[in-house]
Structure 1
Amino acid sequence: MSEQVHERWTGEVAAQRDRFTLLSDVTALRESGQTARVTTPFGHEATMVSRYADVRELHGDPERFRLDAVPAPPALIQAGRDTAEFRRRQAGNLLGQDPPDHTRLRKMLTGEFTVKRMKRLVPRVEEIVTEHLDAMERAGRADLVPDFALPVPSMVICELLGVPYDDRGEFTERSARQLDATTPAPERMRLADASREYMATLVARHRDAPGEDLLGMLIREHSDDVTDDELIGIGNLLLIAGHETTSNMLALGTLALLEHPDQLARVRDDPSAVDGAVEELLRWLSVVHGGFPRAATRDTTIGGHPIAAGELVVGSLVAANRDPEVVDDGETLDIGRAPVPHLAFGHGIHHCLGAPLARIEMRVAFPALLARFPALRLDGEPEFRGRALIYGLTRLPLTWCAPRR
């Protein structure tokens, strides 16, 4: 991908002021070792760190930097909702909790997301991928976002979680608008309320008749240890994270490979190159550009910078994943490079629970797509999301037919 286009769409860091919107600006901060005061999409004022070591330290020390000590977003307070309501909304949301609640809930889920357990899903993921590739082939061209990148992970997470797939249109549209940083705060709250109400109906249904899916398992095996609010929070987190992140990786990753045809050919033709390609795309794209803010529990330092007790700190994952202290020539996509430790799935106790599933979906989808359509190419201009918490594409028109003469 050209550096001009690349900077435009990888530069939208989630937590920043306008003067830090370009990746080049955040890179300059990282190279100088400086911090910056930013405003997060939730309206919090925070200090941003961008070096790999600093972001890793921030995410890896829940004693000094806690998620559950972050105050309610200003927009929530302005809407007349208090801190107690904010805490209730955070129940079950592992990305907003710390020990002991985080430990208790994550322990219930960890066994369902082990690499071994996820590998059992490979045949089903392959079936889902094939079904959508068949439909694309019949059509002769496709918009990869609605035709493949979005429905594949959506169907997988729906089946795993116990969510009716027929509801996908409703919840995918709702989550996309919630994650759009330009959506007005009152509208985001309305959408969040609608998401909670939807998941509450599913939780009630599973309480009455627990199935063999994840929600059913939690109720059957942990009924006395998990509240309905926690089940709602867990369900919403897994549903949104389970399709939003992977779908955007599939679309952006395909576009990136199309712009690097030599690397695309390796992913298509060499099975041994696929795992490394997935990890490099995760690092290079970093679709979740900024981590959630954390509150310092005491006066401390990070990267040599003083942080006062109560101060909020946020990390730039995209800048950290290109830090020259960790990766040589990190601005370049190179699927053949030696393994690089990246922070695309976070770090520490909040490392993405669904990472094994996301990796499996990408390892199946990318080579299958490229092998089915060896002549795959753009059929128009891609359209990018604007300021979104999870960056990606809204449109990726593709064809594989011979050009008309």
Structure 2
Amino acid sequence: MTRTLPTERAAGQPFDPPPGLAELRGKSPLSRLDYPDGHAGWLVTGHALAREVLADRRFSARVELRHLPIPGAVTSDQPAPPGMFGSMDAPEHTRYRRLLAGQFTVRRMRRLTERIQEIADECLNAMAERGSPADVVPALAQPLPAQTICELLGVPYAERDRFQQHALALFRLDNTPEETGEAYGAVLGVIGELIAAKRKAPADDVLSDLTGSDLTDTELVNIGFSLLGAGLDTTTNMLALGLFALLEHPDQLALLRDDPELAGNAVEELLRYLSIIPFTVRTALEDLELGGEHVTAGESVTVSVPAANHDPEHFPAPEKLDLRRKTSGHVAFGHGIHQCLGQQLARVQMRVALPALLSRFPSLRLAVPAEDVAVRSDMLIYGVHHLPVAWEA
């Protein structure tokens, strides 16, 4: 029995998963886990077993059934509000998922890709104008996903600054609970205003299209918030931490800088290698056998994303960043029916932004020693708080 989910990373190894995860996986891909609320459940650290759990509909994603493996986590015994489809099972989840999947059309993704390129260029132009050194987080990693979400949801240009300020405030480290609550309410308020406006004058965006369905305003607000929550902080930290990893692996950085066609595979390897989302949780709906163990109905199973993505049984030498690696099967976006809906949008932002940054600033380097880069070890989504970089004029 391991008392807590291993979260402590080795000193000087900001990109490697907590070593305790590999120790557990070396003994068994499935371990008993004591949850902080007293629940006795399970921890999955093996790749094959992780995909098995995430694809098995006998394991539920319902928020009211799950226990969380971190101290102080807010849990609920109430079902997810209407529209919060990520915490639902079929058939409710299926209904929302089908409606939303139809929004990520080839035409819309092509248009968004062109706009992402424009936004990235605007950010890099401003960064160059301000000069070296610069902090990549506020210069590129935050505004690019924020603007992309605005494009996706159809936030009017006049409202974007207000929307982004409220949205970014949700993820501030120094928030009091009251401030976080205020930011949450403000974001919901702005999305509610958007929906009311789009019912009167629809445009070419996701919220406008969804107002033509049978979804209620409450459902639409919660869907908008779900898309925001899934696509903002995660992409911000993948961009910043991904650049940090490349700067600390100059041979791999040179590969990507010299061969932009490698960007697609490079993004997949960075997603696997960094695995910024630490876990996902499912709850057994019935008694079943898993990994040679008996799992009882009602027991929560925590799937460690970093452990699964660093399983040497599937990824040889997983601790090595290799942009040419075959990365099929990684679970950075989950797996099964709850696999991240906006994964293609996240991929596009990384495929566009990282090569553009390296091309624009060929001499890019860290402006501080690597050990002075403040990592987000105190946050649920891993990444960096700041990433100071410098370059030659």
TM-score (norm 2): 0.86
8 Å Cα contact 1:326/1:340 also seen in 2:
no
Q: 288, 307, 310: which is aligned to 2:277?
A: 288
Task: Mark the runs of 5 or more structure 1 residues left unpaired by the alignment.
Answer: 12-22
Size of the aligned set, in residue pairs, is 373
| Residues 115/170 of structure 1: CA separation in 2 closer, same or farther (3 Å cut) | same
Matched, 1:28 2:23: yes
Which residue, out of 209, 214, 218, partners 2:206? Answer: 214
2:215 pairs with 1:226: yes
Report what 1:19 is aligned to. Answer: none
Do 1:70 and 1:295's aligned partners in 2 also have CA atoms closer than 8 Å? Answer: no
Structure 2 counterpart SS, 1:70 = coil
Query: What pairs with 1:15-54 in structure 2 (closer than 5 Å)?
Result: 23-33=18-28, 34-39=30-35, 46-54=41-49
Q: What's the counterpart of residue 244 of structure 2?
A: 255
RMSD, aligned CA: 2.8
Of residues 194, 197, 200 in structure 2, which corresponds to 1:202? 194
Rate the CA distance shift 1:258–1:301 in 2: closer, same or farther, 3 A.
Answer: same
- What 5-or-longer segments of structure 2 have no aligned partner? 1-8
Map of 1:133-172 to 2, 5 A cutoff? Answer: 133-141=124-132, 142-163=134-155, 164-172=159-167
Name whichever of 331-340 and 116-125 sits farther off.
116-125
- 1:276-315 superposed matches below 5 A: 276-291=265-280, 293-315=281-303
> Which whole-Å CA distance do the structure 1 matches of 2:39 and 2:200 have between them?
40
Which residue identity lines up with residue 241 of structure 2 in the other structure? Answer: L
Q: Which has the higher mean CA deviation after the structures are superposed, 249-258 or 198-207?
A: 198-207
The secondary structure found in structure 1 opposite 2:279 is: coil
CA contact (8 A) 2:14 2:375 kept: no
- Percent same amino acid at aligned positions? 43
8 A Cα contact 1:144 1:398, kept in partner:
yes
What is the rounded CA distance, in whole Å, between the counterparts of 2:76 and 2:182 in structure 1?
A: 16
Alpha carbons of structure 1 residues 6 and 105: separation in structure 2 relative to 1, 3 Å: farther
- C-alpha distance 49-82 of structure 1, shift in aligned 2 (>3 A): closer
- The question of 1:68 aligning with 2:59 is answered no
Contact persistence 2:120–2:144 (CA under 8 A): yes
Shift of 1:98: 1.3
Structure 1 residue 271 and structure 2 residue 231: aligned? no
Report the CA distance between 1:152 and its aligned residue. Answer: 0.7
More helix by share: 1
Amino acid at match of 1:212: D
Q: 1:360 to 1:82 in 2, by over 3 A?
A: closer
Closer, same or farther: CA 307–195 of 1 in aligned 2, 3 Å: farther
Give the deviation of 1:122 after TM superposition.
Answer: 2.0
Structure 2: distance between partners of 1:106 and 1:274? 29
